Chains A and B, each alone.
Chain A
Amino acid sequence: MMAQTPTILEKRQLSENVFCLRVSAPLIARERKAGQFILLSIDGEFGERIPLTIADADAEAGSITLIFQRVGMTTAKLASLNVGDTLAVLVGPLGQPTHIENVGTVVCVGGGIGVAPLYPIVQALKAAGNYVVTIIGARNKELMILEDEMRAQSDELIVCTDDGSYGRKALVTQPLKEVCERAEKPALAVAIGPPIMMKFCAETTRPYAVHTVVSLNTIMVDGTGMCGGCRVTVGGESKFVCVDGPEFDGHQVDFDGMMKRLQAYRNQERQAMTDHENHACNLDQAYRAATETK
């Protein structure tokens, strides 16, 4: 029952700014379900707490897998850790698990780093017997992650890049529209990625009345419903992403409001980044890359 210090067991770099960590966390690995996330902090005293989706878990080995993009100070520090290093805070699994059911055909759309949180959902939907069409997109070939894993779990996989350097040259919304137009219309769409991508995915499916689930990546502090920092407007009501979500009906979400809130701390974060001692390591560029898409 005693919580053990979470330790990094494995580290991989998936692309220039995307990293994959396997961390020991037996209690979280045992309880977690698709769609749930953890909060972590590297330094318990002064560190920021950031949410990351549990991309995969191995209950037997007592470990969970996190896949994250280096976008700011905390993710940059996380990327600089190595096997054997420990995390001061790792708490979870948080959030409502994805509702998994056999509905027939589902279309799962992942953009950029959103492919990572999408992966356990694809896995679970497939295991429940659905016919899974997966669409993954990235700005270019170098940024594409988890392609093989996704292929293994999907009945169809469509890969696209913004610049055409790999797969189809398209934004994910294009193949999504085509899938919606098929004779066998999907019963469910799941879209995870940058807010702007989720917004346009929801707009794409709306005319076809395909129920669309999105996973929101708001700013969080406690993750237990105490602070309200993660609130978004859904269907005209304020919802707390950490306890009511992270998944919501994409046709109801006020994405514009959410995108503005995500910028809330931008200036301070930029300052924190400049102050951060490791800022030699390409961070500014990472920062610009991360924000350009929005």
Chain B
Amino acid sequence: MSHPTRDELNARAVAKLAEIGDAGASLKPKERMAIPSQDMPAQDPDVRRNNTSEVATGYTEAQALLEAQRCLRCKNQPCVQGCPVAINIRDFVTAIADGDFQSAVNTIKQTSLLPAICGRVCPQETQCQAECTLGKSLKDPMQSVAIGRLERFVADWERERGTISVPEVKPATGKKVGVIGSGPAGLVVAADVRREGHEVTVFEAFHKFGGVMLYGIPEFRLPKEIVRREVETLKAMGVNLVPNFVVGRTRKLMDLLEKDGFDALFVGTGAGLPNFMNIEGENLVGVFSANEYLTRANLMRAYEKGRAATPIAHSRKVAVLGGGNVAMDAARTALRLGAEEVHLIYRRTEKEMPARVEEVEHAKEEGVQFHMLQNAKRILGDEHGLVTSIECLRYELGEPDASGRRRPVEVKGSEFEFEVDTVIVAIGNTSNPLIKQTTPGLETTKWGTLVADDNGQTTIPRVFAGGDIVLGAATVILAMGQGRRAAASINQLLAGE
């Protein structure tokens, strides 16, 4: 794979734009389809695997202008159906093509509050870009209009110019709303409810705000500065932010409603408990959940070796179990913490991996070794309980299962063992039971997620919920979408009183 530099990519885009000249607005669909899709400039793999700076450096202005010209401006906009919050994609992309970046941002912000974040981390290829006419015509979803990258471009443009305005807050209503958890779901609820003039307090168990965007998704994919800016905006709107407060323990949920004068609550506590494989050797020293590994690296900054007190394993050979974004993040973080070899073990094939395609590519470029159709059988250790190796089994694809994916079945007798000193388990989470355990009457599904209707209403009046605690492990944009709907319900409830 050759890697043109940002300057080269930009020069090509500038030349192409000059060719198009003033004809941009009147291009025919055929001509738009002929414009090459714009690659995302990225740090060189050999450089970036040794730093924690952002890997994808973002489109240049010329690239954004050119990519936006690829949009066919479909009347029926199938892309919008693919976006969980139904951003008016055609209009914002057209505005970019016209060079009116401010209007593009404004269009996005009518429905999405966190474009700089979603533009970076949305699994676009399975959402908006999966439905794009252009991608369908070119028979490759990766050739769709790069909607996410364009979204990121204008959001960054606005932030870098410092023109982000603090949303207006209506006069005080005297109503109090509590938001539990400061992930994407909680943050958008806080913003939307505060705008109506209600007093809003966000309670966060950790000492910093942002949820998984802060302690899960690594800096090299989502700079923490972006999350911090969103939190700053909330502060400027007058939202109270309370860290180190575990609802259910520091204060019971019902006490907030019944004793502390809150008129409504939103629970956005995210997915919790990491799953383990329940295999032999999983409690050996050197076996981590991805959550623990990433939290130590991100939140407690273990990668700043000289400064952080938080210990983290100095691993040489790492096995990561799983195939989602979490697994990719753990694998790439391990490289950045100095591992010599990182092996990613997944029991299906690459096609079935739930991770974003771009992250899979980036991980490979950085040297993560992919082992498909394999799964860990047991982890072996020495007399001190330290991991020494992992034993895997080979799999083959059998009949499709309930999810429509072909079920991997193990190949009997195919066991093999290889040397590792660290194993990171990234096979998903189940919901954190803390609030449920301490709140009688709050019902959960058999998967432990909170029961909530389309408006986010839980089984307790005045208590709403959204995000991963309702959806199971999902995405930032879905969490945000649920938060917006719940906020609308809360605003409606309070307006009627």
Contacts and interface: CB of A to CB of B under 8 A. Distances in A.
Interface residues of A, number: 49
Contact of B250 (A27, A229, A257, A269): A27
Interface stretch (B94-102, B123-131, B284-292): B284-292
A144 interface: no
A274 interface: no
B297 to A, nearest CB: 11
A261 B260 contact: no
B307 interface: yes
Given A226-B272, A228-B291, A260-B384, A48 B246 contact: no
Interface in B401-456: 432-434
Interface stretch (B21-29, B36-44, B60-68, B236-244): B236-244
Contact of A260 (B208, B285, B312): B285
Contacts of A269: 311
Contact of B272 (A28, A88, A225, A268): A225
Nearest to B276: A238
Interface string A1-16: 1110000000000000
Contact of B274 (A3, A92, A227, A275): A227
Interface string B306-321: 1111111110000000
B432 A260 contact: no
Interface stretch (A37-45, A109-117, A167-175, A194-202): A37-45
A250 interface: no
Given A221-B292, A226-B272, A226-B432, A45 B301 contact: yes
Interface stretch (B81-89, B154-162, B199-207, B364-372): B199-207
A3 B247 CA distance: 13
B329 interface: no
B292 A3 contact: no
A264 interface: yes
Interface in A243-271: 243, 254, 257, 260-261, 263-265, 268-269
B242 A3 contact: yes
Of A43, A260, A275, which is in contact with the most chain B CB atoms at under 10 Å from its CB?
A260
Contacts of B206: 222
A261 B273 contact: no
Interface string A86-119: 0011111110000000000000000000000000
B198 interface: no
A94 B260 contact: no
B433 A265 contact: no
Contact of B385 (A47, A88, A231, A263): A263
A226 B296 contact: no
Contacts of A45: 301
A204 interface: no
Contacts of B201: 1
Contact of B300 (A46, A240, A243, A263): A46
Of B249, B260, B301, B312, which is in contact with the most chain A CB atoms at under 10 Å from its CB?
B249
A180 interface: no
A1 B285 CA distance: 40
Contact of B433 (A28, A92, A243): A243
Contact of B309 (A74, A91, A227): A74
Contact of B311 (A44, A227, A265): A265
A82 interface: no
B251 A227 contact: no
A225 B292 contact: no
Q: Kindly state the interface size class of chain B when it binds its partner.
A: 35 or more
A238 B282 contact: yes
A243 B448 CA distance: 15
Contacts, number: 133
Given A48-B309, A227-B291, A31 B249 contact: yes
B395 to A, nearest CB: 24
A272 B309 contact: yes
Contacts of B282: 238
A238 B240 CA distance: 38
Contact of A224 (B308, B311, B314, B434): B434
Given A222-B205, A265-B311, A228 B273 contact: yes
Of A3, A88, A91, A92, which is in contact with the most chain B CB atoms at under 10 Å from its CB?
A91
Contact of A268 (B207, B273, B311): B311
Interface in B346-389: 384-385
B278 interface: yes
Interface in A186-220: none
Contacts of A223: 246
Interface string A267-293: 011001001000000000000000000
Contacts of B307: 46
A232 interface: yes
Contacts of B276: 228, 231, 238
Given A43-B309, A45-B301, A268-B312, A240 B289 contact: no
A246 to B, nearest CB: 13
B80 to A, nearest CB: 35
A22 interface: no
A92 B249 CA distance: 7
Contact of A261 (B285, B300, B312): B285
A182 B5 CA distance: 81
Nearest to A258: B283
Contact of B244 (A43, A91, A225, A275): A91
Given A1-B201, A28-B250, A228-B289, A243 B242 contact: no
Contact of A229 (B272, B286, B289): B289
B205 A3 contact: no
A233 interface: yes
B249 A226 contact: no
Contacts of A48: 300, 309-311
Nearest to B429: A226
Given A27-B251, A226-B273, A265-B311, A1 B205 contact: no
26 contacts: A27-B250, A46-B308, A47-B309, A73-B309, A88-B207, A89-B243, A89-B244, A91-B244, A91-B246, A221-B296, A222-B205, A222-B295, A224-B246, A225-B432, A227-B289, A227-B291, A227-B295, A228-B276, A228-B292, A229-B292, A238-B278, A238-B282, A261-B285, A263-B384, A264-B286, A265-B311
Given A3-B244, A45-B301, 11 more contacts: A48-B300, A91-B245, A224-B205, A224-B246, A228-B276, A231-B283, A238-B283, A243-B434, A257-B385, A261-B283, A268-B312
Nearest 10 CB-CB pairings of A with B: A260-B385, A227-B292, A268-B311, A228-B289, A265-B311, A91-B244, A48-B309, A264-B285, A229-B292, A228-B274
